[in-house]
Structure 1
Amino acid sequence: MDGVIALAQRLTPAQRQEPEWSPERLRARPDLAGMPPEVAGDMPPQRLDRFDKKTRRSLVDPHARSGFLRRVAVLGSAALLSGFAIFEMQRVLSIGDMTPVESVVLVLFSLTFVWIAIACASAFAGFAAIMARRIWPVARPATPLVRRTAVLMPTYNEAPDRVFAALEAMVRAVDELGAGDAFDWFVIADTTDPAIALEEETALMLARARLGGRMRLYYRRRRQNIGRKAGNVADFCRRWGKAYDHLLVLDADSLMDGETIVELARRMEADPDAGLIQTIPMLVNGTTLMARLQQFAGRVYGPVVGSGLAWWVQKEGNFWGHNAIIRTEAFMGAAGLPVLPGQAPFGGHILSHDFVEAALIRRAGWTVIIADDLSGSFEESPPSLIDMAVRDRRWCQGNLQHTRVLFGRGLNWVSRSHLLTGIMSYLTSPLWLLLILSGLTLALQAHFIRPEYFVDEFQLFPSWPRIDPERALALFILTLAVLFVPKVLGLIAFAADGRQRRAAGGFIGLFFSFITEIIVSALVAPIMMLMHTGAITEILLRRDAGWNPQRRDDGGVPLRDLVHRHRWHVVSGVALAAAALADSWIMLAWLAPAVTGLVFAVPLSALTGSPAVGRFIRRLGLLRTPEEKNTPPIRLAMSEARPAYTEAIASAPSLLDVVRDPASLAVHLAVTDRMLERPRGKIDPVEAMAAAKIADARTIDEAVSFLDKRESAILLGTPPLMEVLAGLPQKTAATPAE
């Protein structure tokens, strides 16, 4: 609030007392304006049903093409491994004629094994790439930046103290490297909570005051959240994008150190064919067991997986929506998202926009690169199973929308593979569930149902369901090995770096963390399997996910809510245990990991989402990552800055405070986004209702009391209505009842 008052005091007394404020005049003042002058440009929606190859740009550097041998090595190895495993499964089941249930088991096994075989082969490539990079490090020339980059921080009802503390830390880090003039910084808000919107404005003024005007920091809040995050970024591009060569896109929980930000801009300037360069963010700041579990897995196994993917996809990489730099020309010219025909969840605005944008950029002839060698890129993870389910529900809907994009004209086959990977990341859950149920059905059939030995009246030899137990055991061991290869290779690569290993607790600490991660993940996996299956079922029933802000810290959930969310998981676990026990104790033992996780879903969810349990695990030294012992300087800078913002937003003005005080109103109007022209006859019902309530009120206090949250949010973004509201009488005495 002090920052707001200090800036407001720069206005002359005549300006502060003027009854009607001019947003255009105030917006022109560099110390108050929310955004710089607009430099408009076109970003046309792309067609998926047609593409003219003649419009595809030619590569400037002919060596920018991807090689074929890497893809043959990874995908060929996966194909050979899958072929062998499928052949062995067919031999396991085909002692005698295959029954219909056995055929279903074979098909489901084939689909799920191919998935893990590709991950296994890719992990070997990633392991080799990491080890080679340590032996032969690549030099990074420190060339000066000559082009301009806009750093975008989209936010939607997030904690402003976290957002602006992170921005301040990044601004200072880049400035200390002498590259400050090459970057402008933008908070592009889609916030719909009026209280948080005013907190954002307070944090903005404080950030500008603390940075002393050395860096250009701007803020814009949209009145209408059309297209969600993708629409937010597209709106920025159409109005300001032409002023910048590159866009560095973040998330509200993103943090990147200065060296990584500057290096991304250098690489974009050095590579005229690069349309997008994506970093691999590390998870940090995990406070619960679930967050720490994801953090550890991402830090230890993630580099092998990410480097393997980067090694074989080469110039046809992917975009994960944040912590990436994009060439503005490529993005605006090629990545305008179409609105899919039909209603949500399969139609409408594309939720998982990032995969599609990467595919469209590559289609237009630009390269998409995964910079797996860059560290210093961070994000946070959901704190609990429930929060993961909420996030995955939205991601699942967005990824299943890609079935409408997968066969778009002109897309590169590797881009299609990324889209298919996103789809399969959720479809594998019902496939695994069906595989378990089919296998259990096969066992129960053999145990309880008298086989029809002679299915043909002229058959000389009987047929019955049989399997080869020795070959089945060998295949099970092979499947487990393929499943765990990425984890083991990641662990070896991580432990081979002495500095990382010591920071994570040494060999012993790392080993016990590895065992803890495997056990807890095995217990949680069946719960996530059913959650994903439920999400897919809801989508098939045409239920939209909506758009809710994500929790970042506390994963605690009331017991009643836990029971409600996991009740069917527990019932499923009990039913699965009963069916397995009906066959044999051995079958129950085989299914013990899945049964245990489901039956104890409620306490598991409570424990993994508890900050207290997370602190206890940390005191034990389990699931430790190097960044916890050696905190990155950028995180220290953010932590040091955050208390100032927390204190400032605690005294942020309310809507009533803003309209009562001319100075606060002036500052608010200065940072308010201009109202875009609307077609005649299209009236926003929320805005109309707010106007009607203000017209019906006698005082400012009464008008504000009439407004609900949605109306207040629209009001804050409507300068004419704010001026009308401010022109009402102040409340001086109690209004007599009529």
Structure 2
Amino acid sequence: MALQVDQKLNDSLPAPAPLEMPMQDLASWTGKSAAVGNGQEVLLARLFVFGASVIITGFGTWKMYEVISSVDITALQVLFATFFALTFAWIAFSCASAILGFVVLLRGKPALPPLADTCDMGRTALLMPVYNEDPERVFAALSRMAMALRREGAARHFDIFVLSDTRKDHIAAAERDAFAWLERQLSPAMKVYYRRRENNHHRKAGNIADFVTRWGAAYDHMIVLDADSDMSATAMITLARAMAADPKAGIIQSLPLLQNRWTPFARMTQFAGRVYGPLVATGLSAWHGRDGNYWGHNAIIRTRAFAEACGLPELSGRKPFGGHVLSHDFVEAALIRRAGWAVYMLPALTGSYEETPPCLVDLATRDRRWAQGNLQHMKIVSAKGLNWVSRVHLIQGIMSYLASPLWLLLLLAGLTLATVARHTTPNYFPETFSLFPVWPVFDPELALRLFAITFGVLYLPKLLALTLALIDPELRKGCGGAMGLIKSVLAETFVSMLLSPIMMLLQSRVVADVFLGRDSGWNAQNRDDQAMPFAACARIHAWHVVAGLCFGLLALHISGATFLWLAPIAGALILSPLVSWATGLPEFGRRLWHWNVFRIPEEAPRAAEAEDFGGMPSEVLLEAAE
């Protein structure tokens, strides 16, 4: 069906106020990286995080070498130790950042920056880019945000733009009806506009760029939202006031917490984000300083800075590595920082929310596109003029997907090493002269010690976050009290252990797809809690079951001890259809709430509604204006 754009609606858009948005050159840069005001505390935080990461990684790798080394070091052992060092460095860096966050939060929540007076916070556009989304959900969220701004007396400082890239005409028709409803609801206190593009060039990045080049000069700032975003009036006003008070700020990122889902998978993710998230974000903010990152939504951006620095070029080569930039947010933060603007996060700012995929399969579908976008950064990380911290952000994005195949390669190398040892006759008398035989050595005590070190590095951030939650009366109460918190952390740890091997194979496959040149395409996300049939889960995870059986049988063939070491991974893979299906059941999620597991403070009113009416809270429905 041909795309039908309602010209009457497009004619009702505001008068043009264009900003030039020149395409950026990644191969050359004549400017200088301007200082943005990082203090001594940021320098010390960076020294701690990077220093601690190196020390932890070096210590862990040394212990691994002690476990696997024999008299003659083989190439396979070197390869195994290399994979271990890379994967261990990834968790060591996260652990060091979490420790930093813990230290900062023990001293009290970070203070907000200086804020301009409300009357001086300028004009801000709330941008809602949509692509084949449910209009009812999107416009209901915009209505809540707009009404909150009106109650705070700040509506005149904000305009709403719904920027549609929707390709399906029946969804676009519903968008137009919902827009008419919202326009009537908000008039005359607040302006709301709707624009549907005929050509969705460069996807979301192009959608935002189209707004900037057509109307950007009329607004000092823009708050970019996602279709599942929700923000309180206080959060939006605070971002605008902080931006107005800081003339060097280019992007100020909020910390979006997860909400509004009832499947066990989503509830676990929401709980982890609420309890562990502030710890991690505070650590990141402490060492990022004003050389921070941008997550693509729930952030305020100085419109002039964005226009000046963020015209994204086409990348050379064929898709998936070539073409337009998919994960544009990290790149936009790097380019704004390159142009001399500060980018930073406000982890203490509350009232910023988003939603999470309802089940493991939906997460994997979203990850397919995100993996391609992050791996595409391999062509961008060496761009000229980038701040070194911006390069670290890009590398972290790349590693977030390479970590899974590296873990898989580590397992395969370890099994190969064990198999070779199982079927190779030891050489007790090497060619070099020796008075005594050379006995092959394996020290199980060293292996257990290494396991304890790895376990500690991996789970210390959870323990630190639990400690902070237990001493925070409001958070402790909102999570179901001390026992509720402890039960939830234990349950999250157990379920994460079941999900991690499955995610390892899922992400390894999508990384392989990207390297094989398969483009992800662009599809709308599933944002409903509808359960997936078990048969569908069994079909999707069939190859995971086969992989688990192969891992288990090979480990059993090597030795009983090897089987016990690998049993948690093999068992999780064999159970993957059941785990994926059960964690996607909304009824099970509601039962967990009644068991005081995975509660978060923000959902208390909604949870009470669920209890009163015996079901999941209904969404706010659009009603025809009188």
- 2:167 counterpart SS class: coil
Q: Are the equivalent residues in 2 in contact too, given 1:307–1:372 (CA < 8 A)? A: yes
1:447 Cα deviation after fit: 2.3
- Within 5 Å, give how 1:106-505 maps onto structure 2: 106-134=81-109, 143-453=118-428, 456=431, 466-505=441-480
Counterpart amino acid of residue 120 in structure 2: L
Q: Are the equivalent residues in 2 in contact too, given 1:160–1:200 (CA < 8 A)? A: yes
Of 576, 579, 588, 2:563 maps to: 588
Q: Are the equivalent residues in 2 in contact too, given 1:387–1:555 (CA < 8 A)? A: no
1:241 Cα deviation after fit: 0.9
- 1:411 counterpart SS class: coil
Counterpart amino acid of residue 242 in structure 2: R
In structure 1, C-alpha distance between the alignment counterparts of 2:179 and 2:70, rounded to whole Å: 71
Range with bigger deviation, 469-478 or 426-435: 469-478
Of 19, 25, 49, 1:47 maps to: 25
Provide the TM-score with structure 2 as the length reference.
Answer: 0.93
Q: Are the equivalent residues in 2 in contact too, given 1:99–1:465 (CA < 8 A)? A: no
In structure 1, C-alpha distance between the alignment counterparts of 2:486 and 2:116, rounded to whole Å: 38
Q: Are the equivalent residues in 1 in contact too, given 2:112–2:346 (CA < 8 A)? A: no
Of 442, 461, 483, 1:508 maps to: 483
- 2:314 counterpart SS class: coil
- 1:323–1:65 Cα change, 3 Å: farther
In structure 1, C-alpha distance between the alignment counterparts of 2:251 and 2:484, rounded to whole Å: 38
Q: Are the equivalent residues in 1 in contact too, given 2:264–2:592 (CA < 8 A)? A: yes
1:534 Cα deviation after fit: 0.3
- 1:368 counterpart SS class: strand
- 1:47–1:388 Cα change, 3 Å: same
Deviations 1:308-330 (A, max 9, x none): 00001101110000000001111
Task: Name the structure 2 match of 1:736.
Answer: none
1:462 Cα deviation after fit: 6.2
- 1:539–1:461 Cα change, 3 Å: farther
1:138 Cα deviation after fit: 7.9
- 1:187 counterpart SS class: strand
In structure 1, C-alpha distance between the alignment counterparts of 2:272 and 2:422, rounded to whole Å: 40
In structure 2, C-alpha distance between the alignment counterparts of 1:543 and 1:272, rounded to whole Å: 43
Task: Name the structure 2 match of 1:642.
Answer: 620
Task: Name the structure 1 match of 2:526.
Answer: 551
Counterpart amino acid of residue 30 in structure 2: D
In structure 2, C-alpha distance between the alignment counterparts of 1:122 and 1:213, rounded to whole Å: 47
Task: Name the structure 2 match of 1:68.
Answer: 43
Confirm or deny that 1:625 pairs with 2:600: yes
In structure 2, C-alpha distance between the alignment counterparts of 1:420 and 1:447, rounded to whole Å: 38
In structure 1, C-alpha distance between the alignment counterparts of 2:350 and 2:405, rounded to whole Å: 35
Q: Are the equivalent residues in 2 in contact too, given 1:123–1:486 (CA < 8 A)? A: yes
Q: CA RMSD in A?
A: 2.4
Unaligned 5+ runs, structure 1: 1-22, 633-638, 649-738
1:549 Cα deviation after fit: 0.4
- 1:225–1:509 Cα change, 3 Å: same
1:641 Cα deviation after fit: 8.0
Q: Are the equivalent residues in 1 in contact too, given 2:49–2:287 (CA < 8 A)? A: yes
Q: Are the equivalent residues in 2 in contact too, given 1:247–1:326 (CA < 8 A)? A: yes
- 1:276 counterpart SS class: strand
1:91 Cα deviation after fit: 2.3
1:245 Cα deviation after fit: 1.0
The structure with more radius of gyration: 1
In structure 2, C-alpha distance between the alignment counterparts of 1:240 and 1:78, rounded to whole Å: 45
Task: Name the structure 2 match of 1:38.
Answer: 16
- 1:371–1:110 Cα change, 3 Å: same
- 1:37–1:465 Cα change, 3 Å: farther
Counterpart amino acid of residue 547 in structure 2: S
Deviations 1:570-589 (A, max 9, x none): 10000011011112333222
Q: Are the equivalent residues in 2 in contact too, given 1:168–1:641 (CA < 8 A)? A: no
Deviations 1:70-94 (A, max 9, x none): 2111111111121222222222233
1:250 Cα deviation after fit: 0.5
In structure 2, C-alpha distance between the alignment counterparts of 1:594 and 1:447, rounded to whole Å: 21
- Count of aligned residue pairs for this structure pair: 613
Deviations 1:353-373 (A, max 9, x none): 000000000011101001111
- 1:489–1:265 Cα change, 3 Å: same
- 1:435 counterpart SS class: helix
Counterpart amino acid of residue 86 in structure 2: L
Counterpart amino acid of residue 271 in structure 1: D
In structure 2, C-alpha distance between the alignment counterparts of 1:215 and 1:641, rounded to whole Å: 23
- 1:279–1:631 Cα change, 3 Å: farther
Of 530, 540, 546, 2:515 maps to: 540
In structure 2, C-alpha distance between the alignment counterparts of 1:463 and 1:278, rounded to whole Å: 60
1:461 Cα deviation after fit: 7.0
1:272 Cα deviation after fit: 0.7
Deviations 1:506-558 (A, max 9, x none): 11111111111111110011000000000011111100000110011225223
Deviations 1:487-517 (A, max 9, x none): 1111111121112111211111111111111
Task: Name the structure 2 match of 1:84.
Answer: 59
Q: Are the equivalent residues in 1 in contact too, given 2:115–2:241 (CA < 8 A)? A: no
